Chain A
């Protein structure tokens, strides 16, 4: 049986085909201005990769901020619920899930069955999400994909106090003028995001084990900062940006089985 999970995120739409609980194909397209078209494109691509037609799909579940734009989906699930499902299947021992995407960060506490016990979502602010890193990368004239590795070269902790992406940018400029090494400033940026995410997670209470998902989990510099802040190891899927889509696909499979 084939099912599809589609995550209409703020920056990318990710789709995933699941065949009998195994990932068969994945696709990712930019969300752009027309998210409905992007959702359709992501679906078409993933079906093509899986050599399937829409009629071969037993159920489609959509998630993400733009989930309503996936008009072809039969059901929806929230990002909180999707992540809980995915992580519970990938890492059954995990009780705290941290998801950091382009525009939102969220912390989710789950029980042994993957049921959401509590959750917190970052406030109306970019400082706890991936966009913040992108803005800072521009200010530092560093490629986004190089931020992580550069951060790990730092041997020095530079405090960055701003709680807002706008103010943080001017603080980065001040740090540049103060002749701090670039790698130290990059680490400061990651430490600042990690601090916000950890603080939000502490509001719901951190229970071991802890998983990190979402696109920002690709950033090894941020991962290092969050580990230091939380003082523990993090379970990270191989493709953390697909966590929501995977959870949606698991939800679709449940529906297809009559759940």
Chain B
């Protein structure tokens, strides 16, 4: 069958890979240049440690653990090591991959596991609350650890007091950072990092919004390799600049009608983290002319959204775009906290209804034929309420397929069974495999 649409590789693909590898390399080698290493979650306010200097490098746990998961051999050894150490198999699989890497003293990017100089974390889910407490114990027990509580409810219920609760912890955190590192904090660097943070997240949302186009310029498997930068270091200029370059390229693809997959005729979205060791499932979808245009997870973990004048979802305007000039530390922290607490993926920790509403919006605005929900046993936080989401989507008339698995533990994913489900789902949507 001849191709329906033109398609071509992303020009910035190699650059994306380079930035990611540099990130992991820079963290490992930070001490060689007299720099500092910190570890924490991908949800943490990474702009804040930037005030310590340009030679302070993070290692965010979730994307690191996803990289471990992709390496099936290492992941399996990590799981076995963690289970031998007495931790339960049904805990967060990202957390287990991370702990396993410490126990084995094996860095997924080569060499020994690089211990952090301090831990900078916030608690968005139950696992986050324990992750670095155990990691710290495994690392010898003397790594300084600062954790912030961000459980202030959904954004539409945000009050001044709740915001101050988070900002207060940020102020305390900066004093703590100065104390444990012995470095003087630079507010100008913080302000710049907050600007980059907002720019990265707005640009990523804009890029995802461009995927409303038919044909979609990006497919979700590709998006996983791009959104990751926001989970690594969204407050860095490198990431913000890269997202601007990416946005421009994707915009150009839409204008020229360049498709992610050449025979797009069916559009779906997924939900939660994918089974990282089996991303080939997305390539299998292409046999039916089916593109996964993304998910609330890929859109909303890094993207910052707002309702536009026409009522649709689009990128949230950054403080810079709104003409807000950040003058000092307190204002920077207020801007950062208020900005981040609006993040879509934070909202549904408080109710599955928030998530259903956002998923329905995506299903309608991105013109979907169906939805594939990953009942992800590896993440209690993002899987919470997923059965409720299924019902809401079905009630709205969207066909929904579910598949069971685990983002980071391949032992709980059955590839053949998932393929069987996809076959049945595509058949029910009246899509046959496209003959070559």
Which A residues lie at the B interface, using CB under 8 A?
65, 77-81, 115-121, 123-124
Question: Given A65-B416, A118-B394, A118-B399, are A123 and B424 also a contact pair (CB < 8 Å)?
Answer: no
The answer to whether A78 and B423 have CB atoms under 8 Å apart is yes
Q: How far is the CB of A107 from chain B (nearest CB, A)?
A: 12
The answer to whether B417 and A124 have CB atoms under 8 Å apart is yes
The answer to whether A81 and B420 have CB atoms under 8 Å apart is no
Q: How far is the CB of B400 from chain A (nearest CB, A)?
A: 8
Residue B427, interface by CB 8 Å: yes
Residues of B contacting A117 with CB < 8 Å? Answer: 428
Q: How far is the CB of A63 from chain B (nearest CB, A)?
A: 10
Residues of A contacting B423 with CB < 8 Å? Answer: 78
Determine the main DSSP class of A at the interface with B. mixed
Residue B367, interface by CB 8 Å: no
Residues of B contacting A116 with CB < 8 Å? Answer: 424, 427-428
A80 contact from B402, B404, B427, Cβ within 8 A: B427
Residue B414, interface by CB 8 Å: yes
Nearest A residue (CB) for B425: A119
Question: Given A123-B404, A124-B404, are A80 and B414 also a contact pair (CB < 8 Å)?
Answer: no
Residue B172, interface by CB 8 Å: no
Contacting A at CB under 8 A, from B389-435, are: 394, 399-400, 402, 404, 412, 414, 416-417, 420-421, 423-424, 427-428
Nearest B residue (CB) for A120: B402
Q: How far is the CB of B28 from chain A (nearest CB, A)?
A: 37
- In the complex, how many residues of chain B place their beta carbon closer than 8 angstroms to a beta carbon of chain A? 15
The answer to whether A77 and B427 have CB atoms under 8 Å apart is yes
7 pairs of residues in contact across A and B, judged by CB atoms under 8 Å: A77-B427, A78-B427, A81-B424, A81-B428, A118-B399, A121-B421, A121-B424
Q: How far is the CB of A58 from chain B (nearest CB, A)?
A: 19
Q: How far is the CB of B269 from chain A (nearest CB, A)?
A: 18
Residues of A contacting B394 with CB < 8 Å? Answer: 118
Residues of A contacting B399 with CB < 8 Å? Answer: 118
Nearest B residue (CB) for A123: B404
Residues of A contacting B416 with CB < 8 Å? Answer: 65
Residues of A contacting B427 with CB < 8 Å? Answer: 77-78, 80-81, 116
Nearest B residue (CB) for A77: B427
In the assembled complex, the Cα of A80 lies from the Cα of B424 at a distance in Å of 6
Residues of A contacting B417 with CB < 8 Å? Answer: 121, 124
The answer to whether A124 and B412 have CB atoms under 8 Å apart is yes
B420 contact from A65, A118, A123, Cβ within 8 A: A65
In the assembled complex, the Cα of A65 lies from the Cα of B424 at a distance in Å of 12
Residues of B contacting A124 with CB < 8 Å? Answer: 404, 412, 414, 417
In the assembled complex, the Cα of A80 lies from the Cα of B394 at a distance in Å of 19
Residue among A77, A81, A119, A120 with most chain B CB within 10 A:
A119
Q: How far is the CB of B289 from chain A (nearest CB, A)?
A: 17
Residues of A contacting B424 with CB < 8 Å? Answer: 78-81, 116, 119, 121
Nearest A residue (CB) for B405: A124
Residues of A contacting B414 with CB < 8 Å? Answer: 124
In the assembled complex, the Cα of A116 lies from the Cα of B400 at a distance in Å of 12
Nearest A residue (CB) for B429: A116
Could you list 5 further interchain pairs (A-B, Cβ under 8 angstroms) beyond the known A65-B420, A116-B427, A121-B424? Answer: A81-B424, A81-B427, A118-B400, A119-B428, A121-B421
Residues of A contacting B404 with CB < 8 Å? Answer: 123-124
Residues of B contacting A80 with CB < 8 Å? Answer: 424, 427-428
The answer to whether B412 and A78 have CB atoms under 8 Å apart is no
Nearest B residue (CB) for A84: B428
Nearest A residue (CB) for B427: A81
Nearest B residue (CB) for A76: B423
Residues of B contacting A123 with CB < 8 Å? Answer: 404
In the assembled complex, the Cα of A207 lies from the Cα of B402 at a distance in Å of 20
Nearest A residue (CB) for B433: A76
In the assembled complex, the Cα of A120 lies from the Cα of B414 at a distance in Å of 15
Q: How far is the CB of B185 from chain A (nearest CB, A)?
A: 51
Q: How far is the CB of B386 from chain A (nearest CB, A)?
A: 12
Residues of B contacting A120 with CB < 8 Å? Answer: 402
In the assembled complex, the Cα of A80 lies from the Cα of B400 at a distance in Å of 15
Residues of B contacting A79 with CB < 8 Å? Answer: 420, 424
Nearest B residue (CB) for A109: B428
Residues of A contacting B400 with CB < 8 Å? Answer: 118
In the assembled complex, the Cα of A117 lies from the Cα of B421 at a distance in Å of 14
Contacting A at CB under 8 A, from B19-38, are: none
In the assembled complex, the Cα of A117 lies from the Cα of B417 at a distance in Å of 20
Residues of A contacting B402 with CB < 8 Å? Answer: 120
In the assembled complex, the Cα of A185 lies from the Cα of B177 at a distance in Å of 64
Q: How far is the CB of A127 from chain B (nearest CB, A)?
A: 14
Q: How far is the CB of A87 from chain B (nearest CB, A)?
A: 15
Residues of B contacting A78 with CB < 8 Å? Answer: 420, 423-424, 427
Nearest A residue (CB) for B399: A118
Residues of A contacting B421 with CB < 8 Å? Answer: 121
Residues of B contacting A81 with CB < 8 Å? Answer: 424, 427-428
In the assembled complex, the Cα of A22 lies from the Cα of B396 at a distance in Å of 40
A-B interface, 10 closest residue pairs, ranked by CB to CB distance from nearest:
A80-B424, A116-B428, A78-B424, A81-B427, A78-B423, A124-B414, A78-B427, A123-B404, A119-B424, A121-B421
In the assembled complex, the Cα of A79 lies from the Cα of B423 at a distance in Å of 10
Nearest A residue (CB) for B423: A78
Q: How far is the CB of A252 from chain B (nearest CB, A)?
A: 14
Nearest A residue (CB) for B413: A124
Residues of B contacting A115 with CB < 8 Å? Answer: 428
The answer to whether B420 and A121 have CB atoms under 8 Å apart is yes
Contacting A at CB under 8 A, from B79-125, are: none
Contacting A at CB under 8 A, from B373-399, are: 394, 399
In the assembled complex, the Cα of A118 lies from the Cα of B414 at a distance in Å of 21
In the assembled complex, the Cα of A118 lies from the Cα of B400 at a distance in Å of 8
In the assembled complex, the Cα of A58 lies from the Cα of B400 at a distance in Å of 35
Nearest A residue (CB) for B414: A124
In the assembled complex, the Cα of A118 lies from the Cα of B401 at a distance in Å of 8
Q: How far is the CB of A98 from chain B (nearest CB, A)?
A: 15
